[in-house]
Amino acid sequence: MKSKFLITRPRHDSIVNYLFYWSREIIKFAENKNILFSDFRDKNANRKNVEKFLNTQNPRLVIFNGHGDAKTICGYNNEPLIVKDENEELLTLKIIYAIACNAAKELGESAVEKGCDSFIGYENRFGFAVDSTRIATPQKDKIAEPFKKFSNTVV
Amino acid sequence: MVEYEEIKKLILVRLEAMPSNIEIFLGGRSLNKEELIEEVKKDTELGKLIVEMQLKYLRQMKEGF
């Protein structure tokens, strides 16, 4: 069965752990609406898996959670997944939402120039406030809740 | 026009008043209250970004979001 969208959810530090839990809402939404998806979580959020999936499954929407910089979106253990001038053509004809620092600044622009339909991301650092007493349980963090809501609203 | 140092003082007061259990995850780093204050005081790149973020928030609050 063909997946409609891909979501990457590494979980190797406290910061991406929040994104991991935030994305559960997106996944639940998709499940409730019977929208097909593939969830590359934890170690599965690696370059080999992502490139193979983008090449063979051709999803319409891709949601990347992870660290990044102006030219890079990262996955598990900060392995670069999509890198400007290396493989951004894999994003051709797709809609991308990259929750990664700075990736819209250069990578996003380059991807769109090379055929990506839409690249939604952040030109500056992505940040949010948290309750330090809830870092181990992001799903209970009321301070981070508004940031989760606005990020998930994009999807 | 308000000088940057005056704005910085305002932001430092705001940060001082922040509850101690709040941390900011920003650009791959985790910053507690003391670290945020230090970055602003030292005028680091991150400190300037924090000031800019706080100022934007205050302006939007004034304009009613």
In chain A, which residues have their Cβ closer than 8 Å to the Cβ of B53?
127
> What is the model's pLDDT at position A2?
63
The CA-based angle A1-A23-A51, given to 5 degrees, is: 50
Each as own residue / partner, the long-range contacts of residues A49-58 (CB below 8 Å, 24 or more positions apart, any chain) are A50/A6, A50/A8, A50/A75, A50/A81, A50/A82, A51/A81, A51/A87, A51/A90, A53/A3, A53/A6, A54/A6, A54/A90, A54/A91, A54/A94, A55/A90, A57/A2, A57/A3, A57/A6, A58/A93
- Flag the least confident range among A18-22, A67-71, B61-65: B61-65
Which domains does chain A possess?
Answer: 5-150 (3.40.50)
> What is the model's pLDDT at position A76?
98
Top pLDDT among B53 and A98 is at A98
> What is the model's pLDDT at position A4?
82
Nearest to A15 among B30, B49, B53 (CB): B30
pLDDT tens for A89-143 read 999 999 999 999 999 999 999 999 999 999 999 999 999 999 999 999 999 999 9
End-to-end Cα distance, chain A: 22
How far is C-alpha A103 from the chain's CA centre? 11
In chain A, which residues have their Cβ closer than 8 Å to the Cβ of B27?
101, 125-127
> What is the model's pLDDT at position B63?
86
The count of structural domains within chain B is 1
pTM (global) more than 0.95: no
Q: Give me the interface pTM, i.e. the ipTM.
A: 0.85
Range of the domain at B52: 4-63
> What is the model's pLDDT at position B64?
79
> Tokens in use for A119?
């690249």
Q: Is the pLDDT of residue A43 over 90?
A: yes
Q: Which segments of chain A does DSSP mark as H helices, in order?
A: 14-32, 47-56, 109-113, 145-154
Partners of A80 in the beta sheet? A74
> Tokens in use for B45?
């790149």
